[in-house]
Structures are given as structure tokens and as C-alpha cells.
């Protein structure tokens, strides 16, 4: 499978390294809004075709699928460009700023008969596969409470030009970090009945800290937090009627699950890596699918419905939104 990479930032570099762990994946092209950055990234990463615009990458007929790693406010427009050009798309999370954008992207994937998936890579990690198995086997009985945090403090001296503090680049704690505790909540409990959000907006207008309380149909409760202005535990704990499971830091990329209950154990899995999601993309493409059952369009839309509700409650708006 021939991959192109849209973007030249840190996550794009990590993804190129991840691709090279997959035997049937080739990284054949990179695109940037800057010819200089594309050339520099391509030389450093050993990528032969280096495009100085996303349009040029979209027009590269030697590319089968594009990993979209541009900044978050660009995900929709960039994914649409590649889908309309006949490329399949794996789009970095969050796939869109909100439900409205995601629906446009999904409609384009349907219309062009192209594959589209949000890169919610945590769900494909061995630790999360094992966690899903433990929950299915009810090793802690019926889950009652989830506490999950992903928080850290960006140094104040760096905040003035940091992407996480830039509303023009879709910054903020909720959409960048909070999606990880949220996807865990949905793995444990499914969709919530109610969403209660509190947050603190920074001087730049993004959320520096957001806390979600979700109530679920079976009586379960999720307490989720994300921050870019204060450190947190970066752990998660699922408490059930017959025990508990703890995900060590960092909870979105943990390799250690600690199970308490009738059969206490510490489970060590393979280290986290972006490469675990790639075989799922290849499988879906090989079977002619336009979406993955493991992380579907329904999953992406469900996440965004929750973050849309939370954003409404804390007053978080991005440029161009009403």
C-alpha cells in the first residue's frame, strides 16, 4: 500500500516511523504548505516525492492513501481535497472540530467510494484490545464508575505560540487531549444519557481545562478531565461491582493494566505505537470497505456529539463558527 503524508510536524514524523514497521506499507510522498518544509522532511525521512502543496500531493497518482496530519482546523478541508482526488484517508484525531464538519467528510467518502477513518490509535493498542476482552468477560463485574485524566501543563513561556493555545489551529484541551478519556468512556459504557461540562478558557480563547461528567443508561458514571495548564495523573481507573482496572500513565498509550478483584493480576502488553492502526486500514482497503468496524464513522460522530455539547456548555468557539 502506497502512503502519502499530509503535514510535516512531529506526529507526521512518528507516523512515518510507524509505517515502516508494516511490511506491506510504503511511504512514497509527503506534502506540505511549504516547499521548503516538504523538502526538509522528505530528505530527513527518506521520502522521494516531496510536494510543496497539498494539492500537488492530492494529484500524485502514485499514492493510494493519505495520512492527514495537518493542524486540526484544516482536517476537514484537507481530507475533502484528498477524497475528491480519489485518495483514501486516515485522518488524525479529532477528525473534525464538530459534527457538522465530520458529516461533510463522511458524505464525501460515501460519494467518492473512498475509505475514511479517524486515527483514534489508542483503540488499536494491545492494551486496549486486552481491556476490551476483560470488560467483555466481566472480570470486574458491572462497571459503575470511570475516572480518567489526560492533563499536563505547557510551560507559560511557550504558550504564546504553542498550537494548543492557538484557536486558529483548533487548540485547546478538550479536542486534543480530552478525546482519549472520552473514547475510553465509550468503550466502557457506550453512549451517555447526559453530558455536564465545566471548563476554564485561556486568554487566547481555547479551553485550558475541561471536565466532563457523563451519566449512562445503566447507571454508570464517567468523570473525565483534560488540561493544558495544569498537570494531572494521566491515568484511568474503572471501578465495577466485583473489582477495578487501572490504566497506568499515560492512559491513552498505556502498556500496563492492573486488575483488582477475584483474580488480581498485572498485565503487561506491547509498548504503544501508532503502527497498530495501520493493518486495519490495509484490511479495510483490501476488502473494499469505506469505513472500519473497529472505529467507524458512527464512533467519530458519537465522540463529536459529546464534544459539541461540552463546547456549548463552556462557551468554546473557534474562528468562523457562529
Q: How confident is the model at residue 274 (pLDDT cuts 50, 70, 90)?
A: very high
For residue range 9-26, list pLDDT tens digits in order: 999 999 999 999 999 999
Q: pLDDT value at position 200?
A: 97
Could you tell me if 155 and 253 lie in one domain? yes
Q: pLDDT value at position 121?
A: 98
Q: pLDDT value at position 98?
A: 98
**Mean of the per-residue pLDDT values for the chain?**
98
CATH code at 81?
3.40.50.720
Could you tell me if 180 and 57 lie in one domain? no
CATH code at 223?
3.30.360.10
Could you tell me if 254 and 281 lie in one domain? no
Domain presence at residue 35: yes
For residue range 113-127, list pLDDT tens digits in order: 999 999 999 999 999
Q: pLDDT value at position 205?
A: 97
- C-beta separation of 93 from 118 below 8 A: yes
For residue range 170-204, list pLDDT tens digits in order: 999 999 999 999 999 999 999 999 999 999 999 99
Domain presence at residue 290: yes
Could you tell me if 167 and 264 lie in one domain? yes
Residue 293 class from Cβ within 10 Å (0-12 exposed, 13-18 middle, 19+ buried)? exposed
For residue range 78-104, list pLDDT tens digits in order: 999 999 999 999 999 999 999 999 999
List the domain range (segments joined by +) for residue 262.
126-272
Q: Is the pLDDT of residue 322 over 80?
A: no
Could you tell me if 135 and 267 lie in one domain? yes
Domain presence at residue 309: no
Could you tell me if 96 and 166 lie in one domain? no
Could you tell me if 194 and 263 lie in one domain? yes
Please give the positions annotated as active site.
93
Q: If we measure between CA atoms, which residue out of 49, 47, 52 comes closest to residue 33?
A: 52
Number of domains present in the structure of the chain? 2
What the block records as the C-alpha cell of 169 is 489551529
Amino acid at each position: 500500500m502506497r502512503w502519502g503524508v499530509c503535514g510535516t510536524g512531529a506526529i507526521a514524523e512518528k507516523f512515518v516511523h510507524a509505517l515502516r514497521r508494516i511490511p506491506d506499507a510504503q511511504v512514497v510522498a509527503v506534502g506540505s504548505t511549504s516547499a521548503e518544509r516538504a523538502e526538509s522532511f522528505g530528505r530527513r525521512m527518506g521520502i522521494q516525492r516531496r510536494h510543496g502543496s497539498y494539492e500537488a500531493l492530492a494529484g500524485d497518482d502514485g499514492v493510494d492513501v493519505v495520512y492527514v496530519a495537518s493542524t486540526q482546523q484544516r482536517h476537514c478541508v484537507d481530507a475533502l481535497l484528498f477524497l475528491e482526488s480519489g485518495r483514501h484517508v486516515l485522518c488524525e484525531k479529532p477528525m473534525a472540530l464538530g459534527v457538522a464538519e465530520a458529516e461533510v467528510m463522511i458524505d464525501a467518502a460515501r460519494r467518492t467510494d473512498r475509505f475514511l477513518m479517524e486515527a483514534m490509535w489508542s483503540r488499536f493498542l494491545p492494551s486496549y484490545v486486552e481491556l476490551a476482552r476483560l470488560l467483555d468477560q466481566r472480570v470486574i463485574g458491572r462497571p459503575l464508575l470511570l475516572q480518567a485524566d489526560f492533563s499536563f501543563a505547557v510551560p507559560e513561556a511557550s504558550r504564546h505560540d504553542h498550537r494548543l493555545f492557538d484557536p486558529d489551529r483548533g487548540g485547546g484541551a478538550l479536542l486534543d487531549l480530552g478525546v482519549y478519556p472520552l473514547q475510553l468512556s465509550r468503550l466502557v459504557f457506550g453512549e451517555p444519557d447526559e453530558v455536564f461540562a465545566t471548563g476554564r478558557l485561556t486568554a487566547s480563547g481555547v479551553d485550558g481545562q475541561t471536565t466532563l461528567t457523563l451519566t449512562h443508561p445503566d447507571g454508570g458514571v464517567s468523570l473525565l478531565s483534560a488540561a493544558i495548564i495544569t498537570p494531572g495523573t494521566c491515568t484511568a481507573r474503572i471501578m465495577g461491582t466485583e473489582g477495578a482496572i487501572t490504566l497506568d500513565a499515560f492512559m491513552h498509550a498505556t502498556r500496563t493494566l492492573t486488575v483488582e478483584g477475584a483474580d488480581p493480576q498485572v498485565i503487561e502488553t506491547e509498548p504503544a505505537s501508532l503502527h497498530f492502526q495501520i493493518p486495519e486500514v490495509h484490511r479495510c482497503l483490501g476488502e473494499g470497505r469505506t469505513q472500519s468496524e473497529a472505529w467507524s464513522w458512527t464512533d467519530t460522530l458519537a465522540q463529536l456529539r459529546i464534544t459539541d455539547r461540552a463546547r456549548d456548555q463552556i462557551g468554546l468557539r473557534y474562528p468562523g463558527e457562529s
